[in-house]
């Protein structure tokens, strides 16, 4: 059974995951929201201005009033570098799907895997989901490596399932982990 607690601060070895504030807009714009390399496989285009980022953050921050909102900004060495969130959630079937993106300068350092693992642990241990999924564009294998490092299993690929912000149809790979697998990985059973 899901027990919503909303976006709570999470600390890992190198990261702080916390709620966004509107004051994060400039740094978010500069560090990842304006970068085509980051948004290439996402539904949204790079932001045109810090004001566009600020408007988005106003919506995201207002959403924190709802306890079933899970959206973290990632802080590393005093800078905000990306975000990770629950992009889909089923109350009835008790599952969550994660989405994430991070500034290009921080790629290939294991930071997203560290953040995703912490969020996965939080969603299983504190929120009580039974399943967590991650989907990614096949053309973006680094995102799939994040899922693999977090113990998720490749469950299949949907052909031309997703149309990115450039209008390209992309194949999407789906990964998942269920509670019993997570418990086994964490020596809880």
Please indicate, yes or no, whether the overall pTM of this predicted structure exceeds 0.85.
Answer: yes
Residues of the chain with pLDDT > 90, as a percent, come to 90
**pLDDT one-digit tens code per residue, 151-188:** 999 999 999 998 887 888 999 999 999 999 999 999 88
**pLDDT one-digit tens code per residue, 90-110:** 999 999 999 999 999 999 999
Half-sphere exposure of 66 (CA within 13 A, CB side): 9
- Give the Å distances, CA to CA, from 120 to 9, 29, 49, 78, 162: 14, 26, 32, 23, 24
What are the sequence ranges of the domains in the chain? 10-185
Return the H-helix or E-strand segment holding 62: helix 50-63
Please calculate the CA angle 174-177-180 and round it to the nearest 5 degrees: 160
Is the domain spanning 10-185 CATH 3.30.420.40? The answer is: no
Quick one: pLDDT at residue 178? 98
């Amino acid at each position: 059974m899901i027990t919503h607690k909303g976006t709570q601060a999470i600390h890992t070895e190198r990261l702080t995951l916390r709620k966004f504030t509107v004051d994060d807009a400039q740094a978010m714009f500069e560090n990842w929201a304006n970068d085509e390399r980051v948004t290439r496989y996402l539904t949204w285009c790079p932001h045109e201005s810090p004001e566009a980022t600020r408007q988005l953050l106003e919506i995201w921050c207002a959403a924190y009033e709802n306890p079933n909102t899970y959206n973290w900004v990632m802080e590393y060495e005093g800078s905000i570098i990306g975000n990770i969130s629950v992009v889909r959630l089923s109350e009835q079937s008790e599952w969550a799907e994660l989405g994430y993106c991070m500034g290009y300068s921080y790629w290939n350092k294991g930071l997203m895997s560290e953040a995703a693992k912490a969020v996965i642990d939080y969603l299983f241990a504190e929120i009580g989901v039974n399943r967590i999924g991650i989907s990614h564009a096949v053309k973006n294998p680094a995102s799939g490596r994040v899922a693999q490092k977090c113990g998720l299993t490749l469950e299949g690929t949907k052909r031309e399932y997703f149309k990115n912000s450039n209008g390209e149809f992309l194949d999407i790979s789906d990964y998942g982990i269920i509670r019993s697998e997570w418990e086994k990985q964490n020596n809880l059973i």
